[in-house]
Amino acid sequence: MTLKEIEARKKEILKETESADLTKLDALNKEMDDLNEEARKAELEAIEKRNVIADKINTGEIETKIIEAETKKVNLVENRSSDKNMKNQLDSVEYRNAFMEFAKSGVMAEEFRAVAMTSGNSAVIPVTVLNQIVERLESYGNILPLITKMNYPAGVAIPTSELASPAVWTTENNLASTGIAVEDKVTGSVTFAAYPLVKAIGLSFLARVQTLSAFEAAIANNVSAAMAKAMEAAIISGTGSGQPKGILKETAAKTVELSKTLAYEDIIKIKKAIPSAYRTGAVLVMNEATFYSFLSITDKQGQPVARMNQGIDGNPNYEIFGTKVIITDWMKDYDAAGKGETVAFVVQLDKYVMNTAYDVDLVTYIDNATRNKVYQSVAAVDGKLVDKNGLVFINKSNA
């Protein structure tokens, strides 16, 4: 098979996996491995053939077309206005097409040989190909949109209170003789500090002069993503000392211990533990792998108690017995957690308040010593769960 046929078959296999059963998947996986090996061998053969041709050209066995004098090429390069013009030429559609032809035939178009060919390589890869950055993907941003956000100076306090006592039934005679007992309303407050959150990324001098503009474009996103990840991690498990206090560091109103083998009864225990006054808006927060552990639980009719549907935005919606599930990577999954460790919790996330005394900024400057361009962000943030009465911890079995 040619490389083109191999790629076409691999696309067909990917489409077939969407509806294949386990037996078929095993066969498709084996075929995919075989195709990858065949493609690797074909590429090696192509490289070997090109090397043979190159050797014959060098020894004179194959005649090549004589092009203009080398000095003329040097003058062409020297007359370029700047390195920027060089970059623009290598980034042009014409050069990218010429490079594609070189990749297929091994011959670089004559008008680009002066800038493309050097003693150490056969062709310069187009800038647009170089300007790709592969970064490790991380899941975040599911928690931050659901909490309550404030922007007040440090020291702001949110009042909290409880009903003093229940109302009592009485009679007209008792009302006349004993009167009405007056009880004070107990109040308290939650006070927010301002903990500095800082992130700085430096772009090296060499990276900047080598026109890797992709790094410039990516760094601002990297800084903002790092800030968001730090905030979201603190919402879940922040210590409260020098950083916001995470939900896992609070004292839950109730705790549910799962059975050694997850079962339908565990879901019932979780649902029963949620106070009725806090059911509206309550969500289950857990690692995605933990959700799949719950997805294996079925009722007496064999129906799964968890659901995963596709939303109108194309993203999956997770749900267990009518309670929405919020996925986060900042909690351990069920299998990795230790005995008795919290693997999920139920909470109304709008009861978690994050106050930003100084909003996230982004400044850039040049570090004179290293010539690095530095991107730096600072924020002053604190956060707390202001109402813990609806918080339910779900812990792995101690058995």
**80-89, 221-230, 333-342 — which is least confidently predicted?**
80-89
Over residues 252-276, mean pLDDT: 93
What residues have CB less than 8 Å from 185, skipping those under 6 apart? 161, 162, 163, 164
| pLDDT band at residue 358 under the 50/70/90 scheme | confident
Q: Which structural domain, as residue segments, surrounds residue 254?
A: 225-395
**Reported confidence tier of residue 73, pLDDT bands at 50, 70, 90:** very low
Q: Which pLDDT band, with edges at 50, 70 and 90, does 7 fall under?
A: confident
Tell me how long the chain is.
Answer: 399
In a domain, 150, yes or no: no
Domain membership of residue 190 (yes or no) is no
Q: Which of 278, 310, 325 has its CA nearest to residue 143?
A: 325
Of all residues in the chain, the percent with pLDDT exceeding 90 is 26
**Listed residue (204, 210, 213, 345) closest to 270, CA to CA:** 345
Tokens of 386: 């202001």
Here the tokens at position 282 are 């309550």
Kindly tell me if the per-residue pLDDT of 328 is higher than 70: yes
Among 10, 17, 61, CA closest to 37: 10
Last residue of a domain, one of 66, 96, 130: 130
Residue 80 pLDDT exceeds 50: no
State how many domains the chain has: 2
**Largest Cα span, the chain:** 124
Q: Are 57 and 64 in contact (CB under 8 A)?
A: yes
Residue 388 falls within a domain, yes or no? yes
- The per-residue pLDDT for 5 is 80
Half-sphere exposure of 347 (CA within 13 A, CB side): 30
Euclidean distance between CA atoms 300 and 264, whole angstroms: 8
- 213: confidence class by pLDDT, cuts 50, 70, 90: low
Query: Is there a single domain that holds both residue 373 and residue 248?
Result: yes
Answer yes or no: is 331 within a domain. yes
Residue burial 350-362, b: 16+ Cβ < 10 Å; e: rest: ebbbbbbbeebee
Please indicate, yes or no, whether residues 233 and 343 belong to a single structural domain of this protein: yes
Question: Among 130, 148, 167, which residue terminates a domain?
Answer: 130
∠150-236-269 over CA atoms, to 5°?
115
Using alpha carbons only, give the angle 225, 226, 230 rounded to the nearest 5 degrees.
115
Chain mean pLDDT for the chain: 77
The residue written with tokens 């010593």 in the block is: 369
More confident residue, 361 or 194: 194
Closest of 389, 387, 394, 385 to residue 284, by C-alpha: 394
Residue at a domain's end among 84, 102, 130: 130
